Each structure stands twice: as structure tokens, then as C-alpha cells.
């Protein structure tokens, strides 16, 4: 039966140009099990590429005859096959495309499995870490029916797109929802920039906790702190007790609080630890498959704490590559995973050394690589000063925003309760206190922007920011 579909594919490749142009980008010679059929496919593909037209039977036979790698015996068999490749205009085209796509998918998966076995057996000198990528590429084989967007003819679909309510993962913080138009959309990479100890992990733990209470399934991947330490921070947040109090909380009271949280949500939160610089998206894909199979868990959002200490599955450990290439590769792979799994990923990155003491972070303060802000969909900085700490506040500054105008609410403050690992909205009047003069954002990624501060009757308010 498999050989039969191969002959059907060859017949239509030779006789129908539309079918050939639609399927040839996805077909591969190794998908054909018989050597003679493989030779015929290769000559059709080569002819179309060279002459921008399908060969006639006569031309195909001449090309086969001129191929020095084909023996006289093989040529004779190829000739017999070609003579049977007659046009069949009655074949249902949609059925044929569907069957061809399925053929490609099955062959790709089979070949990937066989190649993986060879790697495991040591027959191929390739790193076992490439196996997840091989399988992932095979599983992603799919015909793309789209040939582009017609500006005039597709105006109705464009209008529908403008008015479609995109599904997002909302924040429980007012201004973060405002600047993202309601939360993080699917298929996106979102980055927090902050110095050491400012609050990257605190922010991610808080957001993960809020997602859980919102009924979402949350996967939190940590490579900086142990699973238990992350879980402790989330406990403090959700149970509304300080880290210090948590240690002394009686078991009965602890269970009562956990039950209360359980009653508030239908979601799950999984925390998974990897050693620093030991995991990449290949490991994350494997984890997602394991969680789906063993726990029936499919996340709505993934947190990666944090990006700079991930590995790249495209770059071997110890390879002589610069930080720009490495970090950009990691960011691209994470964003690719977000697209593949149809969910948002939120991660974090460190500031440069100068950024540690900078009270006004910009994209130029991104540690190691400008490739990260170039890849991210949404990026914001967390800024802490002694003055803000005294007020139990932290400043948020937008750095890049594909969801909204980044000059809207460019800066704002959030309340922070470090003991309970929480962020919270502050009084509106507090927002004006973050600035006392013109604010400038001067980076390699944009023009110099000035945010004027308006002061009403000696009292600062949030209207000082561009809205």
C-alpha cells in the first residue's frame, strides 16, 4: 500500500504542475523506499528547478539515461515505471494533497526514529542531545496552504483580525494589563530585565501564583534556585504569610491554607529544577511530553528562571561562540517553543555591570547580548532605589512592547512585599512620585524620548507620563 501511494505521487508530480509546485517543497528523496522511484523523483525535482517546468516522459527518460549513477538494469526498471505514470484528471485534488501530506509526515517520523536509534547505538557520531530536535522537526512537517495576504481581496479577514479579542494570560496588576492590552498573548517571549537581587524571581513567582489563582496551568522552570526555594516563595505569596512565618507555621494551619488555595483554582502549578546551564528547549520539550503523558498536564504559560543560564540546543557546550550568538540563539529557541506550544513564555535576564547601579535602565543595559531585545516581544525593566525601597515600591520601565504603544505608561511603580513575595497595585497618587523632572530613554533601539512631568498644585500625579 505504501509503495502504491508513492507511485500515485510520482504520477501526479509528472503530470500536474500545480500539484508538483505545492508538494515538492515538502517531499524528500529519502521518503521513497524503492531506489528506482527515488531516482525518478530526483530527476523530476531537478528538472523543475532547472527549467521551471515539468518534464515530458521523453525528457524524463533522457535525464534518467544521462545519469551516470543509474545502471542499465535500473534504467530499464525506471522506464517501465515511467511508462505507467499516466495522467489521471479524475483524482480528487484535496484528497491527494491530504494523502501526500500524511505520507510526508509518516516518512519524516519514521526516518527520525531510525536516525535516533542509530545515534543511540553509536552508529552515527552525533550528540544524543540532537534527538529531541530530530523528532520535533519530524512532528512539525505540515503543508502550508497559505500563499500570502492579498491586501484588497482579504480586507474582510483583516477587519475581523482587528476586532478579534485575542486570548491572553492576564496579570493581576492593573498597569501591566494596561500596557499589554490585557495580558500576555500566546506564541510570545516576554523578558524581565533587572539587576541581581532586585526582584526578577520575586516578580515571576508572584505572576505564576496569580496565574494559578486565575485557574491557569503554570510550569515554572528554575535553573537558579532549587525547586523547594521557588515553592517556598510561592507558598508565602499564596498563603499570605512571610517567609519567616512560613517556617514556624503549624502543620494544621498550613494544610488549612493549602486547602483554601486548592478551593480557589482549577489550575495546577508545576515547579521543575534543572542544574544551572544544563538544560535547553530540547529538555523542556521532553518535560512537556512527560507531564502530558504522566500527569495529563498541559501548561497555559511557562516561566523560565532565567534565560542567561539556559543552554542552546543548536550550540554545543564549550563552543567558541560569542555571547551575542549564544543568548540570541537561546531567545530564538524559547520563542520558537512558545510558538510551537501556542503559549506565552516569560523569562528574565541580568543587567550589565553598569546596570547594577543604574537607576534608569535601558536596552543598552541588557547583559551579554542585544540579540535578546531584538527577539523578545515584550521587555520591561525592574528598577529599585533606596528611596523606592523605603516606600516598599519598585519601578517598572517599558523597554520594548509589540502589544501596545511603548510610550503609554512608560514608567510606573508597583508595591512590593518582599517578605511575602508579592507585588501589588499602589494608590494612583503614588505614581507621580517616581519622577521629578524630564525622563529620557536613549538607546540604540530607538530615538530619544522625553516624558514631561506635570505637577498640579505642587502634587505629582500619574498624568505626568505619556498616555
Residue 437 has pLDDT above 60, yes or no: no
CATH number of 88's domain:
1.10.860.10
Is residue 196 classed as helix, strand or coil in its secondary structure?
coil
Q: Is residue 161 situated within a structural domain?
A: no
CA distances from residue 63 to 58, 258, 448 in whole angstroms, order as listed: 9, 73, 62
Reduced DSSP (H G I as helix, E B as strand, rest coil) percent helix, strand, coil of the chain, to 5: 50, 15, 35
pLDDT single digits (tens) 274-283? 888 778 888 8
CA distances from residue 75 to 10, 23, 54, 94 in whole angstroms, order as listed: 16, 25, 20, 33
Convert 264-331 into a string of H (helix), E (strand) and C (coil).
HCCCCEEEEECCCCCCCHHHHHHHHHHHHHHHCCCCCEEEEECHHHCCCCCCCCCCCCCHHHHHHHHH
Residue 441 has pLDDT above 60, yes or no: no
Predicted confidence band of residue 52 (pLDDT cuts 50, 70, 90): confident
- Give the global pTM: 0.61
Does 329 share its domain with 196?
yes
Number of domains forming the structure of the chain: 2
Q: What is the DSSP letter of 16?
A: -
In 3D, which of 431, 436, 434, 438 has the Cα closest to residue 463?
A: 431
Q: Is residue 149 situated within a structural domain?
A: no
pLDDT single digits (tens) 309-352? 888 877 766 666 677 777 888 888 888 889 888 899 999 988 75
When the pLDDT of each residue in the chain is averaged and rounded to a whole number, the result is 81
Percentage, residues of the chain above pLDDT 90? 29
Tell me whether strands 344-350 and 378-383 are parallel, antiparallel or unpaired: unpaired
Confidence at residue 462, expressed as pLDDT on a 0 to 100 scale = 35
Distance separating alpha carbons of residues 32 and 330, to the nearest angstrom? 35
Does 186 share its domain with 310?
yes
pLDDT single digits (tens) 143-194? 765 557 778 887 887 787 677 667 899 999 999 999 999 999 998 999 998 8
Distance separating alpha carbons of residues 37 and 22, to the nearest angstrom? 19
Does 206 share its domain with 349?
yes
CATH number of 192's domain:
3.40.50.300
Does 313 share its domain with 434?
yes
Q: Rounding to the nearest 10 degrees, give the CA dihedral for residues 431, 434, 437, 442.
A: -110
Range of the structural domain that residue 76 is part of: 2-139
Confidence at residue 320, expressed as pLDDT on a 0 to 100 scale = 67
Residue 269 has pLDDT above 80, yes or no: yes
Q: At what angle do helices 131-139 and 281-295 cross, to 10 degrees?
A: 70
Give the chain's end-to-end CA distance (angstroms, integer).
Answer: 65
Q: What's the rounded mean pLDDT across residues 244-263?
A: 90
Lowest mean pLDDT among 131-140, 194-203, 335-344: 131-140
Confidence at residue 135, expressed as pLDDT on a 0 to 100 scale = 79
Q: Is residue 160 situated within a structural domain?
A: no
The more confident residue out of 34 and 314 is: 34
Q: Is residue 144 situated within a structural domain?
A: no
For residue 135, say if its preceding peptide bond is cis, omega within 30 degrees of 0: no
Does 87 share its domain with 223?
no
Does 79 share its domain with 193?
no
Does 93 share its domain with 135?
yes
Distance separating alpha carbons of residues 23 and 226, to the nearest angstrom? 49
What sign has the CA pseudo-torsion 374, 375, 380, 385?
A: negative
Confidence at residue 442, expressed as pLDDT on a 0 to 100 scale = 39
Confidence at residue 282, expressed as pLDDT on a 0 to 100 scale = 83
Predicted confidence band of residue 457 (pLDDT cuts 50, 70, 90): very low
Does 80 share its domain with 185?
no
Q: What's the rounded mean pLDDT across residues 109-131?
A: 81
Q: Is residue 163 situated within a structural domain?
A: no
Predicted confidence band of residue 417 (pLDDT cuts 50, 70, 90): very high
Q: What's the rounded mean pLDDT across residues 225-234?
A: 90
Confidence at residue 346, expressed as pLDDT on a 0 to 100 scale = 94
Does 212 share its domain with 330?
yes
pLDDT single digits (tens) 57-114? 999 999 999 999 999 999 999 999 999 898 888 788 888 888 898 898 888 898 889 8
Residue 445 has pLDDT above 90, yes or no: no
pLDDT single digits (tens) 286-302? 899 889 888 899 999 99
CA distances from residue 410 to 179, 180, 402, 431 in whole angstroms, order as listed: 8, 12, 14, 12
| CA angle centred on 368, ends 365 and 369, rounded to 5° | 85
Does 189 share its domain with 324?
yes
Q: What's the rounded mean pLDDT across residues 430-445?
A: 46
Does 403 share its domain with 284?
yes
The region that residue 277 occupies, defined by phi over 0 for left and psi between -120 and 50 for alpha, beta otherwise, is: left
β-bridge mates for residue 398, sequence order:
380
Predicted confidence band of residue 138 (pLDDT cuts 50, 70, 90): confident
Q: What is the DSSP letter of 55?
A: P
Q: Is residue 154 situated within a structural domain?
A: no
The more confident residue out of 143 and 242 is: 242
**Contact, 274 vs 222, CB < 8 A?**
yes
Lowest mean pLDDT among 84-93, 357-366, 407-416: 357-366
Predicted confidence band of residue 448 (pLDDT cuts 50, 70, 90): very low
Using only C-alpha atoms, what is the Rg of the chain?
A: 28
Tell me whether strands 301-305 and 411-417 are parallel, antiparallel or unpaired: unpaired
Q: What's the rounded mean pLDDT across residues 192-212?
A: 91
Does 188 share its domain with 231?
yes
Amino acid at each position: 500500500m505504501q509503495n502504491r501511494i508513492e507511485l500515485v505521487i510520482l504520477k501526479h508530480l509528472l503530470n500536474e504542475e500545480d500539484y508538483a509546485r505545492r508538494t515538492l517543497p515538502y517531499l524528500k528523496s529519502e521518503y521513497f523506499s524503492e531506489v528506482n522511484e527515488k531516482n525518478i523523483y530526483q530527476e523530476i525535482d531537478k528538472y523543475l528547478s532547472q527549467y521551471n517546468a515539468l518534464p515530458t516522459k521523453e525528457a524524463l527518460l533522457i535525464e534518467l539515461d544521462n545519469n551516470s549513477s543509474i545502471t542499465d538494469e535500473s534504467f530499464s526498471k525506471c522506464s517501465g515505471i515511467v511508462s505507467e505514470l499516466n495522467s489521471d484528471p479524475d483524482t480528487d485534488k484535496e484528497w491527494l494533497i491530504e494523502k501526500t501530506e500524511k505520507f510526508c509526515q509518516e516518512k519524516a517520523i519514521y526516518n527520525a526514529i531510525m536516525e535516533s536509534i542509530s545515534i543511540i547505538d553509536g552508529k552515527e557520531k552525533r550528540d544524543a542531545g540532537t534527538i529531541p530536535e530530530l523528532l520535533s522537526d519530524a512532528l512539525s512537517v505540515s503543508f502550508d496552504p497559505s500563499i500570502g495576504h492579498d491586501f484588497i481581496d482579504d480586507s474582510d479577514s483583516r477587519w475581523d483580525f482587528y476586532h478579534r479579542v485575542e486570548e491572553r494570560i492576564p496579570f493581576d496588576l492593573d498597569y501591566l494589563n494596561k500596557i499589554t492590552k490585557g495580558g500576555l498573548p500566546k506564541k510570545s517571549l516576554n523578558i524581565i530585565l533587572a539587576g541581581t537581587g532586585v526582584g526578577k524571581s520575586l516578580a515571576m513567582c508572584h505572576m505564576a501564583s496569580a496565574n494559578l489563582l486565575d485557574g491557569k496551568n503554570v510550569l515554572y522552570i528554575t535553573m537558579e534556585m532549587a525547586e523547594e526555594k521557588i515553592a517556598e516563595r510561592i507558598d508565602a505569596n499564596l498563603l499570605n504569610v512571610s517567609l519567616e512565618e512560613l517556617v514556624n507555621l503549624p502543620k494544621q494551619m498550613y494544610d488549612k491554607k493549602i486547602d483554601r488555595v486548592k478551593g480557589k483554582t482549577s489550575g495546577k502549578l508545576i515547579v521543575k529544577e534543572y542544574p544551572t546551564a544544563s538544560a535547553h528547549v530540547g529538555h523542556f520539550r521532553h518535560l512537556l511530553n512527560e507531564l502530558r503523558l504522566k500527569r495529563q498536564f498541559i501548561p497555559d504559560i511557562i516561566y523560565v528562571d532565567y534565560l542567561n543560564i539556559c543552554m542552546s540546543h543548536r550550540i554545543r557546550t564549550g563552543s567558541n561562540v560569542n555571547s551575542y550568538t549564544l543568548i540570541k540563539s537561546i531567545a530564538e529557541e524559547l520563542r520558537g517553543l512558545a510558538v510551537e506550544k501556542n503559549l506565552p513564555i516569560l523569562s528574565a535576564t541580568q543587567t550589565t555591570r553598569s546596570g547594577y547601579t543604574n537607576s534608569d535602565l535601558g536596552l543598552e543595559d541588557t547583559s551579554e547580548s542585544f540579540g535578546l531585545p531584538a527577539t523578545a516581544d515584550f521587555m520591561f525593566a525592574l528598577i529599585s532605589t533606596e528611596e523606592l525601597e523605603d516606600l516598599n515600591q519598585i519601578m517598572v520601565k517599558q523597554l520594548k512592547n509589540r502589544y501596545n504603544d511603548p510610550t503609554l505608561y512608560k514608567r510606573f511603580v508597583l508595591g512590593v512585599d518582599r517578605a511575602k513575595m508579592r507585588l501589588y497595585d499602589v494608590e494612583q497618587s503614588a505614581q507621580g512620585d517616581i519622577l521629578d523632572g524630564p525622563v529620557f530613554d536613549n538607546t540604540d533601539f530607538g530615538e530619544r524620548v522625553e516624558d514631561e512631568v506635570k505637577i498640579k498644585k505642587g502634587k505629582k500625579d500619574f498624568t505626568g507620563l505619556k498616555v
